[in-house]
Amino acid sequence: MQSVNIIVGSQMGSAEYVAEQLAEALEQQGIQVQLHEQPVFDDIDQQDTIWLLCTSTYGAGDYPENLLPFVESINQQADLKGLNYSVIGLGDTSYDTYNYAGRNLDELLANKGANRVAERLELNILDEALPEDTALAWLPSWIESAGLN
């Protein structure tokens, strides 16, 4: 049985809250989950797991501060073949840098050879629905795409 490592990039707490809701929902379905709110690359399994990266965009399209060392570690990797991942990005469409952190992280992992198991989910914090509700509605299709069912 594969596990899910949820990796959080959050400056103000929104992405963290979405990640916590997803972790709870996955655990309720009997899926083993580890939540990484201060992610350290070398501490997170890469085999027999799926990385679900949940990040907001901060400032002018930047990564949240807690994610910067993790992203730098990814940049230092030559090859991430065999790593399965998906990205959830939270952003605000009133900015022209909408969801840059999620988009850039998705591209970085793909360029390092990691395997995207599902298309990136982009959550607009200006939508009527709460970001966590949209993510929870998306979760069943992600579980299927990831082969966790």
> Could you state, in order of their start, the residue ranges of all structural domains in the chain?
3-143
Q: Measure the CA–CA gap between 13 and 119, rounded to whole angstroms.
A: 23
CATH for the stretch 3-143: 3.40.50.360
Over residues 110-129, the mean pLDDT reads 94
Please compute the mean of the pLDDT values over residues 36-47 and round it to a whole number: 95
Average pLDDT of the segment spanning 132-142: 96
Residue 59: what pLDDT?
85
Q: What is the pLDDT of residue 60?
A: 86
Give residue 2's pLDDT.
78
Q: What is the pLDDT of residue 11?
A: 86
| 31: confidence class by pLDDT, cuts 50, 70, 90 | very high
pTM of structure: 0.95
The CA distance from 106 to 109, in Å, is 5
Summarize the confidence of residues 2-31 as an average pLDDT.
94
In the chain, what's the furthest Cα-to-Cα distance? 41
Asked whether the predicted pLDDT for residue 43 surpasses 80, the reply is yes
| pLDDT bucket at 1, cuts 50 / 70 / 90 | low
